[in-house]
Every structure is written in C-alpha cells, then in structure tokens.
Structure 1
Amino acid sequence: MDAPAALEDTVSAQPDGPHGPLIPMPDLTPDDLRAAVSRIAPSRVPALTQHLFEATTNAQQTQSLAPLRAFVHSWAVFIAIERYPERTARLHQLERIIDVGDQDPTEAIAEIQRIREAAEKEAGL
C-alpha cells in the first residue's frame, strides 16, 4: 500500500468506542498533521497552513529547524487534544474560567497544564 493510501486509511479509522479518539494520532509530518486537522477541525486548516508557511520562512531565514519543530509541536498537541471531544470541551471550559476572571484561576491553569502534558506524551513529544 502506498504512503498516501496508508495515511488515508489511518486517518479515516472509526473512533474507538464512545470515549475513544476521533482519529488515530498521525505521524508528525506537515502532510499528516494537515490531514488530521482537516478531519477533526477543518476550520483550522488555514491557520495551520499559515503557521507552516511562517515556520518554513523563518527556518530558511535563520538557518534553523527550531521554527519547524515549534510548528510540529504546536499542531501535534492541538490534534492530540482535539481528537477527544470530551477533552476538548473540558479545555475550552477551563479557558473560559480563566477568561472570565471571576474566580481564582490556579486550579484551571494546573488542569490545562495536565491536559497539555498528556497531549504531548500521546504525540510522542
């Protein structure tokens, strides 16, 4: 099976039960990240595309892979979170708690950090 067909099969897999991920965690390549985002958050594809363009330009200008690594890290974490609807909903709820500012944000910030750390681990970062 060729690589694009394999990716399509992987990304189109069914969710693993009612609380499982919407899609498997993709490989950490720009094409696979874009395919995953187009499946779980299609409205975010333009932002991903713009971020990739900027990261590529910055990498060329600075002669460093750091901007591309930051791109991969950012979108891998985004996908790892967004592929679980309950996790995404909880993250947005915590962000609203912080944005509203009518209660101590300490616990919300700590939980957001735990969500992001779990997402990094799932993504292999």
Structure 2
Amino acid sequence: MPQLTPDALRDAVARIAPSRLPALTQHLFEATTNAQQTQSLAPLRAFVHSWAVFVAIERHPARAERLRELERTVEAGEVDPTNAITEIRTIRETAEAGLPRPGTTPRVPSPAA
C-alpha cells in the first residue's frame, strides 16, 4: 500500500488503474480548491481517504471485480439490493481497515533471514 499522500496515490493509480487518473486529478483539484476556500484540510483528507480505499480495493483484482459486479447489481435495480449493499459495505470496510493511519508509514515486512 502506498503512503497516504497525493503523489504516492497518483503513482499507485497510474500503475493499477491508469484510466482513473483524470478522475483523481479532478478530485485533487476540487479538494485543493475547497480546502483553500474553507481554510480547512478536511477536503484534502477526504481526497486521500477516498483514493486510498480505491487503491486498497483495486490492488486485489478479484475483490475489485466483485465490487464492480455488486455495483452493477444495485444500479440495475432488478433485484432487492440489500445483500449487494451489505457486501459492498464489507468490501469497503475491509479495504479501510487495511489502511495505515494518517501520518504513518506503511509497515514493510522485514526480509526473511
């Protein structure tokens, strides 16, 4: 998992989902503008959190594909979405739980001796 900085997240997105770079750039621009206007770091924190969760999910292709499948199910509106929404929530919570706390560096396992 990359460090929780805009540059590190941009690099990670460029590697795992390059088609999403324009969305990341737009979100960063909006977050920066909002942070300046409100004189608050909250918009930038929200940006970092959102893209860190995205990267945490996309780093696992099967989990990312399952999330997209569930989102399509909810959007289609053809079946009761309760189970899909519950599973979406679980996927996102699992991704969030694996994130390093803000201001910390992700742990890197030591090499085996």
TM range (shorter): 0.7 to 0.9
- Runs of at least 5 residues in structure 2 that lack an aligned partner in the other structure: 102-113
Task: Select 1:52's aligned residue among 28, 33, 38.
Answer: 28
TM-score normalised by L of structure 2: 0.86
Aligned 1:18-37 pairs, distance under 5 A: 25-37=1-13
Which structure has more relative contact order (CA 8 Å, sep 6+)? It is 2
Query: Structure 2: which amino acid aligns with 1:106?
Result: T
Question: Displacement of 1:124 after TM fit?
Answer: 2.9
Task: Select 2:85's aligned residue among 102, 109, 116.
Answer: 109
For the aligned residues, what is the CA RMSD?
0.9
Percent identity between matched residues is 72
Deviation >4 Å, runs of 4+: none
- Runs of at least 5 residues in structure 1 that lack an aligned partner in the other structure: 1-24
Aligned mates of 1:99, 1:40 — CA distance in 2: 24
- Classify the secondary structure of the residue corresponding to 2:84: helix
